Structure 1
Amino acid sequence: MKRFFSLFVALLCCLTLSATAETQAPETPEAQTARAVVEAVAAEDYDAAVELFSAELAATLSAQALQEAYEPLLAVIGTYQGIHSITQYSADGAEIVMVQCAYEKSGLMFTVTFTSGSVAGLFMQLVAIPEIDGLEAPIDSTTREEVALRPGAEDETIATLLIPDGEGPFPAVVMLAGSGPQDKDETSAVNAANRPFYDIAEELARQGVASIRYDKYTYAHAANMTEDEIALLTIQEEYINDAVAAVAALRADARIGDIYLLGHSQGAMLVPRIMQAIEAQEGLGEIAGGVMLSGSPKPLWQISMAQNVALLGDEQMESYEAILSEQIQLANSLDTMTEEELITKTVFGVSAYYQKDETSVDAAQAALKNGRRLFIAQGDADWQVTTADGIEAWKAALEGAQFPVEYHLYENLNHLLMTQEGSVTRTLMDYALPGHVSQQVIEDIAAFILAGE
């Protein structure tokens, strides 16, 4: 049980939040009980927490198992500071209460599931707390500007534009972050010093490549999203609208030349689809190419399933085979679900409505149709997207492509394209130490882009 519980600590943080942006919830009975559970865990009174569980959950998640799952996290996130927010929503006949807590170095989201009024599930996931995010940019000759996406609109988003020193026009990248609510730097929830997009943007500017990046919609506007907007969230709202606005802003800037899309993780998986959506807009022109980092051509739910299966031992597989089979069956029936079923059911922790939309465009087929040059890369220490599901799957899916595709596999780099320190643990602890995106990776990206000029 401990291993499976830790699995959800490690993985659901990058999936669940993408479909469940925060809304303010009243202190319902479920919210009050969830608060009591969280406060007991934070006080390290595990027996008190388990007393609030249903009999079924208490039989599988003991006080000792809860302690063994929680205490290792404290070495990474530091001391408990308090509850940051409590949100609640309904799904699949259950009540879900999400309690976001602030810790000394990061945040921790407790997801408490209720069935028939009883605590039937408890998951912990590392998240970022806005107050601790961000560091000052270094002072150099790079021009940094704020650009408004959808200026004047209720959902206006402020983007950061970096322009290299010298005379343009410069090629530019629109940066597409990974799954879940992400700030413009892709600040790590485990260690706020790890900011992949910050590293990439700063170094690309030094190499002569401009960039525009922004907080994802589900991060920047989560507090203002209605329940209906959350329930009906798709790739259009989460990614495409912002990307279209970013390209429009770049097209209006005389300092910018060719435009590329640069995606990481789920952002990389969506580069071909987003490229099509942008080029369908009148006046935005063609996208010159794509940079796809730590991504996969496979549907998001298949990557989630692979992560879960990889972390389950034989004994755990026997216990949870029925759960996995049920989730796979749901995933395979997305096309036949009613709209009500899509809205109320979840598949591998994500709204079925969202999953159906995400699977509606085949990434590799879209890339082949686009015909734009591509740079595809990942690290060989990446366990969130294995090389089999990542770079090797891309090679197979794009075989025979009639356009240039560069493949780069980097030794001992993790999912963040940072050096993997020590043995791979297959948990978010692999990202606990501060690091930077590999200089070689960024230089290779810059060389790919500049070669197209």
Structure 2
Amino acid sequence: MKMKRLAASAAALALLANAVPAAAADDRSPVALWVNGSALTFADASPYEEAGAVLVPVRAAAERLGFRVSFDPGTYAVSLSSSNVDVSFRVGAASATVNGRETAFAPASAVVSNRVFVPLSFFETVLGFETAYRADVKAAEVQGGALDPKALVADILRLLIDGKYQQLSDEWFADEMKAAVPVEALASGWESAAPIAGAFLGVAAVQSAPLDAETLGVEAVAAFERMNFKVSLAINGERQRLVGLLLQPAAAEAEAPDAVVEEEVVVGAGTAYELGGTLTLPAAAEGPVPAVVLVQGSGPSDRNETAGAYTPFRDLAWGLAQQGIAVLRYDKRTYAYGDAFTPEEAAAITVAEESVDDAVAAAELLKRDERIDASQVYVIGHSQGGMLAPRIDAEGGDFAGLVLLAGSPRTLWELIYDQNMAFIEAMDDADPAKRANLDYVEAEYKKAQGVAAMSVEEAKNSTVFGFPAYYFKEMDAFDLPAYVDGLKKPVLVLQGEDDFQVYAEKDFAKYKEIFGERDDVTYKLYPGLNHFFVDYDGPGAGTLGEYNVPGAVSQHVIDDIAAWISKMK
């Protein structure tokens, strides 16, 4: 009797597979599945993606979530039950009854290889669990509470805060993590940040999603008294141990003021490097308004020019738009596409591709917008963006005027040399690393002085201060002082007196030397403001640590820029 029943069930399932939606084998793309932080393995009938939807074997996933699952081959009905939820649906249907109420899901359930499959969305819309899917790594997740990401982050932070570094390592670190981050390094890293952070307040904005078929990523924001941290964890699903832990200062979330409106735009639309951007406009604008393009400093940077806990470009955009000036900010090319560059491409990139070309495209985008006064488009360049602003103007930006924030007419490698020397001078003379660092910096400085004489191939295969030498070679081929000297447009030069990256006594003074007493060039030096024009005097002042404490661009700076542009109309 038992054998007959099994045979009948098999026959019913075989017929059912022909009677309800099923995926063609050559159309299915396998997908890894995580449930509560653990990867499920399947000998057959693995989850798959088809036509933009992820289909999951319902029994395996539901049982891992604590449900009892049954299938009636006579009615093709599937039932899931737990202590407080009863769910039923018929195979081939796109709705389920949940505690007596009908709930739709899509696409419809199906049978593949004698297993009942439901869409990943079933677990969210029908069962109420959180789901996520990473299409780039073909990995799906269902989070049902066995692994609580928020509690996990809080537990790890509590061990850090309490100084229980050995316990954190023993309980949570995978072997490879222990080797990469010794307890001593863990302690040193946290104890340097703790005095700046202040008291721990709590964990918020927790998200989790598979990083690949073996690793779950968890991200959260940890709020402290004086700053926030972005916490990133990587958890091995099989071993349930950390294989990655990163704490980075996080800028505070904020909503745009009511006096401004923001819209998403694309800089360089139709090119190989389209960049996401934000156009901020005065909400009460009548007629075309003046506008500015914001150009970031060195390195990969998002549209807000986020640095630690700072978002200076967001501050400028909101502040200027409230005074009637539109602002365009956008993600830098090396931020948006840097991970896709091959080593050869990374070694060959120049400031032309990294900054100049995209800033010109941004200016053109503004000038085509009927809401913008095309004759009143300005550039605000910060740091390296300020250095490059005259070149951007000359190579197609064609701005009505330039605002140089903490810029310099000197070479980039001179600035890097000065920054390194300042760091070395602050070191203890008894520290043996001081001599080694000094020797390294002097050797790199000598190499930088010879970059111009290098061939292109030699420069692409050499580094100076950690940068491809070709980066400096291309930048130095365009004489920055000559660009500045030949600039015949209104210029506003602004500098923070407490800036330890660009120097008032060298760089601000150099602009004054080049421009002289021209009537159309305005200078202003701000006491107490740092490289990002933030006023800060607390733990870590005068070091990179001060950027980790939330702060905003001084309102005085925003007012001065707005007043200067208004006078240009």
Task: Say yes or no: TM over 0.5.
Answer: yes
| TM-score of the superposed pair, with normalisation by structure 2 | 0.57
In structure 1, what is the equivalent of residue 561 of structure 2?
445
Q: Which has the higher strand share?
A: 2
Letter in 2 for 1:368: D
Aligned residue number for residue 390 of structure 2: 272
Question: Displacement of 1:318 after TM fit?
Answer: 3.3
Partner of 1:250 in structure 2?
Answer: 366
> In structure 1, what is the Cα distance between the partners aligned to 2:545 and 2:209?
23
Which of 275, 281, 300 is the aligned partner of 1:157?
A: 275
Q: Which residue among 285, 295, 300 is the counterpart of 1:166? A: 285
> What are the residue-to-residue correspondences of 1:115-264 with 2, within 5 Å?
135-140=254-259, 142-164=260-282, 165-188=284-307, 190-191=308-309, 194-257=310-373, 258-264=376-382
Give 3-state SS (helix, strand or coil) of 1:430's partner. helix
> Matches of 2:450 and 2:210 in 1, distance apart?
37
- 1:414/1:138 CA distance change after superposition, 3 Å: same
Deviation for aligned residue 1:381: 1.2
| Residue of structure 1 equivalent to 2:489 | 372
Q: Check conservation: 1:196, 1:437, Cα contact below 8 A.
A: yes
Query: Are residues 50 and 170 of structure 1, via their aligned partners in 2, closer, same or farther at CA, if it must alter by over 3 Å?
Result: closer
2:521 is aligned, of 362, 383, 405, to 405
1:381 to 471, 475, 498: 498
C-alpha deviation, 1:329, in angstroms: 1.1
CA displacement at 1:69 relative to structure 2: 5.2
Cα gap change, 1:378 to 1:163, in 2 (>3 Å): same
Aligned partner of 1:287: which letter?
F
- TM superposition score normalised by structure 1: 0.71
Match for residue 550 of structure 2? 434
Residues 266, 42 of structure 1: CA spacing in aligned structure 2 closer, same or farther, 3 A cutoff? Answer: farther
* Mapped pair 1:324 → 2:436: no
Cα RMSD between the aligned structures?
3.7
Amino acid at match of 1:294: A
- Deviation (angstroms), 1:227: 2.9
- How far apart, in 2, do the equivalents of 1:41 and 1:176 lie? 44
Q: CA deviation at 1:174?
A: 0.5
Are residues 232 and 76 of structure 1, via their aligned partners in 2, closer, same or farther at CA, if it must alter by over 3 Å? farther
Query: Does the 8 A contact of 1:243 with 1:278 survive in 2?
Result: no
The equivalent position to 1:71 in structure 2, one of 178, 191, 214, is 191
Q: What amino acid is the match of 2:551?
A: G
The change in CA–CA distance for 1:82 and 1:399 in structure 2 (over 3 A counts) is farther
**Secondary structure of 1:450's partner?**
helix
Q: Distance in 1 between matches of 2:565 and 2:167?
A: 48
User: What secondary structure, in the 3-state scheme, does the structure 1 residue paired with 2:438 have?
Assistant: helix
Equivalent residue for 1:394? 511
Query: How many pairs were matched up?
Result: 368
Report if aligned partners of 1:173, 1:210 keep a CA contact under 8 Å in 2.
yes
- For residues 228-251 of structure 1, the C-alpha deviation after alignment (integer angstroms, 9 at most, x for no partner) is 321111011111121111111111
Contact 2:252 2:550 in 1 (8 A): no
1:296 is aligned, of 408, 432, 436, to: 408
Unaligned 5+ residue runs, structure 2?
1-135, 137-164, 213-218, 223-227, 233-245
Deviation larger for 427-436 or 442-451: 427-436
Deviations 1:386-440 (A, max 9, x none): 212331222123225x551111111111111111123664322112221211111
SS of 1:180's partner is coil
DSSP 3-state at the match of 2:525: strand
The structure-2 alpha-carbon separation of the partners of 1:49 and 1:261, relative to structure 1 and needing over 3 Å to count, comes to: same
Measure, in 2, the Cα distance between the counterparts of 1:241 and 1:65.
41
Aligned to 1:418: 534
Task: Give the 3-state SS of the residue equivalent to 1:291 in structure 2.
Answer: strand
Provide Cα deviations, 1:86-142, integer angstroms capped at 9, x if missing partner.
9xxxxxxxxxxxxxx998444699xxxxxxxxxxxxxxx98678xx885432333x2
Determine the C-alpha separation between the residues in 2 that align with 1:248 and 1:198: 21
CA change 1:168–1:127 in 2 (3 A) is: farther
Which 5+ residue runs of structure 1 have no aligned equivalent? 1-23, 25-39, 54-61, 87-100, 110-124, 280-285
Report the equivalent of 1:308: 420
Give aligned-pair identity as a percent. Answer: 36
SS of structure 1 residue aligned to 2:486? helix
Select the structure that is richer in helix: 1
Higher RCO, 1 or 2 (CA under 8 Å, sep at least 6)?
1
Q: Is the 8 A contact 1:247 1:259 kept in 2?
A: yes
SS in 2 for 1:323: helix
1:329 to 1:274, Cα distance in 2 relative to 1, 3 A = same
Given that 2:485 and 2:514 are in contact with CA atoms closer than 8 Å, whether structure 1 keeps it comes out as: no
User: Residue 406 of structure 2 contacts residue 502 of structure 2 at CA under 8 Å; is this kept in 1?
Assistant: yes
Deviations 1:5-64 (A, max 9, x none): xxxxxxxxxxxxxxxxxxx9xxxxxxxxxxxxxxx9996699x999979xxxxxxxx986
State the alpha-carbon separation in 2 of the partners of residues 293 and 83 from structure 1. 39
More divergent stretch after superposition (367-376 vs 441-450): 367-376
